[in-house]
Amino acid sequence: MNSIIIDGLSFSLPLFIIAIGGIYSERSGITNLALEGLLGFGAFTGGLTAAIIYQFTAIGGTASMYIALFAALIGGMVYAMLHALLCIRFKANQVISGVVINILATALTAFLTNQINASLFGKASNRFVLEVSPRFSIPLLSEIPVLGAFFTSIYPFEIVILAVALIMWYILEKTPYGLRLRAAGDNPQAVDAAGVNVEMIRFSAVMVSGAMSGLGGMCFAYSISSNVSPSIFSGYGYLSIAAFIFGNWKIGPTFWACILFGFARSAGYSLVNVLALPSAYSDLVLTLPYIITVILLLFVSKANKAPKSLGEVYDKGKR
């Protein structure tokens, strides 16, 4: 049970912070299927930063990890500007833009990783190898039966994610900016009539989605395989999209959807180990979150209420 909780949290929380980014974008009215590409490019930026730090500086341990997380956040945010420009400035189809961003990120990061490793580090490799992230347990709390697992073998980035998630919730729900962002997704004409620039609100929301995706992508890299390569992120961006749709575009319910996906994944792995099944069954376990997604669609899709102007190009001239 302890391993299910520990591993489930280390998967759920990065998924959650990526989903929060998607919520910001879609609550502003911009459909964002590009989360897969944003998390991959952000992780590429963070991985490159970590590799440079390891190769050319004496910085190590937790400090280098925090620097890499920040670099991933910035990288994802900058890459998200491409989606924002296509959808807001050039009024491109938002679904097609998201798909193109995903495909471009996979090809671009694979190419750049190979070229940078060859030219800068003098080795042929398609990945950036990371230092193993330290873990820690909280005294006393970690000794509680069953529940103590929530406070055992914690990655430092899990605390970072929870802190950032609380800040993002407060901004979205309790600040004037959050009110304008939510209004931009439901009634952009009213926002414009109030003298607020709808395009700027939406642009900033897409950039936030890139920042959160980059952060989540780098956290996945540290927790899953201690390296950065395009292959380790397959499907996680889409899974985060499913999570915030199940959460009805609200941060609180989305958290529980991510917990469900994460614990289903870790429980599957534990079941494979307990039953001593062949290693091939471990690959089958990876499908559990997606199977749950399909099942949940049968029950919650009719109750979901997307932002009223989601996916609609705002034309100020039609106000």
- CATH number of the domain to which 245 belongs: 1.10.3470
Residue 83 is part of which domain span? 2-132+153-318
CB 15 within 8 A of CB 240: yes
User: Does residue 144 fall inside a structural domain?
Assistant: no
Instruction: Report pLDDT for 281.
Output: 67
* pTM listed for this prediction: 0.94
Instruction: Report pLDDT for 279.
Output: 65
Instruction: Report pLDDT for 280.
Output: 67
Average pLDDT by stretches of 10, the chain with 319 residues: 85 96 97 95 94 85 90 97 96 95 93 91 85 86 84 92 97 97 95 94 97 95 81 84 93 94 84 72 73 78 84 76
User: Does residue 212 fall inside a structural domain?
Assistant: yes
User: Does residue 138 fall inside a structural domain?
Assistant: no
Query: What's the angle, vertex CA 220, arms to CA 80 and CA 277, rounded to 5?
Result: 140
Q: How many domains, the chain?
A: 1
User: Does residue 87 fall inside a structural domain?
Assistant: yes
User: Which residue, chain included where needed, has tokens 């100020």?
Assistant: 316
Instruction: Report pLDDT for 55.
Output: 85
The count of other CB atoms within 10 Å of the CB of residue 295 is 10
Instruction: Report pLDDT for 163.
Output: 97
